[in-house]
């Protein structure tokens, strides 16, 4: 399927995905998202993702990772619960090197995967896609270079996955990767392409960022946190629904960046802090 066949995901689509708390909800029924993110080299990734998840409107956040990183998370978000526990969605790999250098972090990721919840694989966790016992509940969030590297490692025809080929037709690359891997692919860029396959065929969405100021360090960690929260508050029952959750997260991320920017430069935490305003804008549109 070519790029012209990809559906542009807009505000009405996002509004249909965003979950509003009911009067009967508590922190558990609202949705719990867990993070195995951050490292000694990139501790801020955990803070950014956890902050973004809370600002998106999730009931609880669990953090599992290096103790020093956990202390930073608590300093910024004292509501966070440390340790493994029941969650609806896991966010893995933001701020973790590829290949994973910390065996304890990798072990914790595999424990999280083994719980059978929905999973967002980002950055250092992308290669774990080949070890998953299930794939229909998984989203991967690479940019073009990361998708090229991943598919060069695992695809039947690695030569077809150079970074140039991926960048030249990202819609086709996302669709092919979704088909080959059996997961939802969220290929990040100024135009982000989301693709998924299931028994009904191929689902494709495109989300165009309203600002180019989003191209700055840490914003991918914020997106992963938003995505984990959207998934945890929706519990999607199919790959198609999961793709809609991923696209809604990308849409909210872009709107938050536009609000934070107001036409000027931004930092990643600015985007996380603007997420409530972005959600309100989506719901009131």
- The overall average pLDDT reported for the chain is 95
In the chain the domains, ranked by start, together with CATH numbers, are 3-284 (3.40.1190.20)
Give one DSSP letter per residue of 88-128, joined into a string.
SEEEE-TT--SS---HHHHHHHHHHHTTT-EEEE-GGGGGG
User: Which range is least confidently modeled, 99-103, 139-143, 170-174, 215-219?
Assistant: 99-103
Main-chain phi, psi angles of 31, to 5 degrees:
125, 135
Tokens matching residue 140? 């991967």
pLDDT recorded at residue 156: 83
| pLDDT on residue 6 | 79
pTM for this entry? 0.96
Query: Angle 219-234/44-56 helices, nearest 10 degrees?
Result: 40
pLDDT digits (tens, 9 = 90+) for 105-118: 999 999 999 999 99
pLDDT tens for 144-182 read 999 999 999 988 889 899 999 999 999 999 999 999 999
**pLDDT given for residue 5 in this prediction:** 62
Closest CA to 254 of 194, 203, 205, 211: 211
**Of 256, 251, 262, 212, residue with least CA distance to 12:** 251
Residue 2 scores a pLDDT above 60? no
- Mean pLDDT score, 203-217: 96
Of the chain, the percentage scoring pLDDT greater than 90 comes to 89
> Is residue 217 classed as helix, strand or coil in its secondary structure?
coil
- Residue-wise pLDDT for 31-68, tens only, equals 999 999 999 999 999 999 999 999 999 999 999 999 99
């Amino acid at each position: 399927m070519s790029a012209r066949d990809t559906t542009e995901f807009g505000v009405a689509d996002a509004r249909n995905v965003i979950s509003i708390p009911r009067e009967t909800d508590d922190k558990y029924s609202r949705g719990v998202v867990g993070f195995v993110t951050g490292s000694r080299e990139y501790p801020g990734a955990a803070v950014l993702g956890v902050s973004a998840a809370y600002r998106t409107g999730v009931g609880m956040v669990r953090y599992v990772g290096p103790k020093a990183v956990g202390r930073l998370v608590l300093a910024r978000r004292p509501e966070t619960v440390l340790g493994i526990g029941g969650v609806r969605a896991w966010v893995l790999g933001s701020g973790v090197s590829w290949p994973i250098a910390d065996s304890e972090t990798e072990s914790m990721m595999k424990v999280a995967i083994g719980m059978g919840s929905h999973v967002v694989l980002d950055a250092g966790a992308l290669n774990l896609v080949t070890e998953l016992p299930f794939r229909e509940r998984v989203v991967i969030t690479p940019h073009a270079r990361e998708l090229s590297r991943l598919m060069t490692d695992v695809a039947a025809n690695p030569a077809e996955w150079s970074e140039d080929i991926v960048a030249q037709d990202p819609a086709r690359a996302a669709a092919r990767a979704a088909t080959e891997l059996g997961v939802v692919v969220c290929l990040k860029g100024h135009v982000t392409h989301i693709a998924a396959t299931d028994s009904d065929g191929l689902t494709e969405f495109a989300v165009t960022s309203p600002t180019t100021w989003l191209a700055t360090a840490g914003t991918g960690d914020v997106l992963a946190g938003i995505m984990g929260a959207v998934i945890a508050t929706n519990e999607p029952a199919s790959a198609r629904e999961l793709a809609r959750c991923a696209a809604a997260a990308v849409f909210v991320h872009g709107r938050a960046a536009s609000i934070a920017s107001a036409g000027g430069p931004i930092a990643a935490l600015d985007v996380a802090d603007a997420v409530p305003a972005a959600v309100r804008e989506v719901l009131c549109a």
